[in-house]
Amino acid sequence: MIVTLIIICEVGFWVLLAGGLALRYAAKMPRASVAVLLCEPLLEVVLFVVTAIDLKNGAEPDWKHGLAAVYIGYSIALGHYTIKWVDVRVAHRFAGGPPPVKLYGMARAIDEWKIAARWILAGLIAMALLQGAAWYVGDDGDIDSLRMWQQRMLWLIGINVIIAGTYTLFPKKAPTADEPQRDAGNDATSHEAPAEDRRATGRSV
């Protein structure tokens, strides 16, 4: 049931996001768009409540409960950022908005550290929820799966620190005048593009 609910929450996240952006740019209804997007956090509340009830009813904590904690951590720390990331690109493609800003050098490195900080926060939130579940179960229960997810969160944090560190040690250089630049809407070097890659990584941890 927990896995099914996570899938429903994930699908619901993108459905609400697509619906909110469609209302904003296609239907020209910004207030309705905000109302739809504000429903996003309700998905995490539902998932958290159902997970707590499942444990309360005597379910042994396993990888499903750990995955729920990770999903909640991601949604809290990066959900709003994901909405903004998509919004900028939709506005650029369909509403004449400015292209995503490209950063180079230390400005790019600083931005990468900001992205890493979001992932670190997501990992810490997930670890705290997992620890709460472990305390709830107690020493008599099997909490190995919860500990496994906590270790994965440490790996996730470490990977993001390394990625940000590489941009600090080896700053990304701006292209020279004779190097053609790709369309900003599709440019994988946009300063926000690494977050999309790490977003997928976080989901597959």
Concatenate the DSSP letters of all residues of 47-111 into one string: HHHHHHHHHHTTPPP-HHHHHHHHHHHHHHHHHHHHHHHHHHHHHHHHS-PPPPPP--HHHHHHH
Residues 114-155 have pLDDT tens digits of: 999 999 999 999 999 999 888 877 766 677 888 899 999 999
Supply the pLDDT for residue 128. Answer: 94
The pTM assigned to this predicted structure is 0.74
Q: How does the average pLDDT of the chain come out, rounded?
A: 81
Domain residue ranges of the chain, discontinuous segments joined by +: 2-204
